[in-house]
Amino acid sequence: MPDAADGLPLVLLTSPIHPEAMERLAAHARVVAAPDTGFDTLRRLAADAAGLIVRAQLPDDILDHAPALRGIVRHGVGLDFVPMAAATARGVPVANLPGSNTRAVAEYVFAALFELRRGLGRLDRSLRETGWLPAKTRANDCAEIGGSTLGILGLGEIGHAVARTASAGFGMRVLGASRSASTFGGLVEPVSVEELFERSDAVVIACPLTPETRGLVDAGLIGRMRRDAVLINVARGPIVEAEALADALEGGRIGGAALDVFAVQPLPADHRLHACPNLLLTPHVAGTTATSLRTMGLGAAELMLAILRGERPATLVNPEIDAA
């Protein structure tokens, strides 16, 4: 379909982006932010869209409802929100923003690890509710992370950033399991997935969601963890079997966990995880800070404008469209 009478192409946002990025786009396009992320809403609004900037799951058939689409930009890194095969089949370029929220996610990992190990929030509540001495006594059970062993499942940009911080910042021993068996110059000791869960005091899930990793962290792997070990998932919810994790937490078979991602999002209010002990839950915000949102927003805007100008985006993730 042609652009609107004003000559400006329509760019659909599945969710609002940083105001500076919106302003940048608005100088060259009509920008519409979907009022909700329901699939029917996205299908309807995509009818006239020349570009899609994606912060939420797209329906698998979105390309069937977007005949004028020239390109898709992922506001972030993971591509599981985008029907990649359909986009490639139709010659629609897809770009993402590698590294745009790496620091934010790495910092979240250590914020979660400190909460699980030192529990300052719990100490604060105890001080206010039960008094000085009871709260002070609770600190006797807190643990330090320095000198402990951190296992990282997935050694991409985020895994590398976590490994670097763990080693240089806290003197932690770092184990890693990945398809590439990366060591990053000796920074990471490559081990099998099974050994990683057996030897680590804390396990960080930072791998992409693929058919091979879906359900990978199951009762068998969780059962290999030390009784005081903790698990942190900043990757994708379906990688960890929630029921197996809940069983381990309720049975006191592991020390705790932090989950930022879930198989179903939002996490249902009646989900079993809400009642699990020693579990930190956050609503998929590991990569979300004011800094990262500005970086991702401006980066997504520039990629989309390049696509609308007919240029090849710098971070094209489906280069096979060139041969289509």
Q: What is the pLDDT of residues 193-233, one digit of tens each?
A: 999 999 999 999 999 999 999 999 999 999 999 999 999 99
- Asked, for residue 5, whether it belongs to a domain, the answer is no
Q: Report pLDDT for 182.
A: 75
- Which residues form the domain of 114? 102-281
- Asked, for residue 197, whether it belongs to a domain, the answer is yes
Mean pLDDT across the stretch 125-141? 96
Token digits of residue 114: 């400190």
Look at residue 177 and tell me whether its pLDDT is greater than 60: yes
At which residue do the structure tokens 């100088």 appear?
27
Look at residue 3 and tell me whether its pLDDT is greater than 60: no
Based on the domain organization, do 39 and 138 belong to the same domain? no
Token digits of residue 113: 């690890």
Based on the domain organization, do 156 and 225 belong to the same domain? yes
Q: Please, which residues bridge with residue 51 across strands?
A: 11, 71
Q: Please, which residues bridge with residue 258 across strands?
A: 232, 280
The domain that holds 184 is classified in CATH as 3.40.50.720
Q: How far apart are CA 72 and CA 91, in angstroms?
A: 11
CA distances from 208 to 103, 156, 234, 267 (A): 17, 9, 10, 20
Provide the domain count of the chain: 2
For the chain, the maximum distance between any two Cα atoms, rounded to a whole number of angstroms, is 72
Look at residue 173 and tell me whether its pLDDT is greater than 50: yes
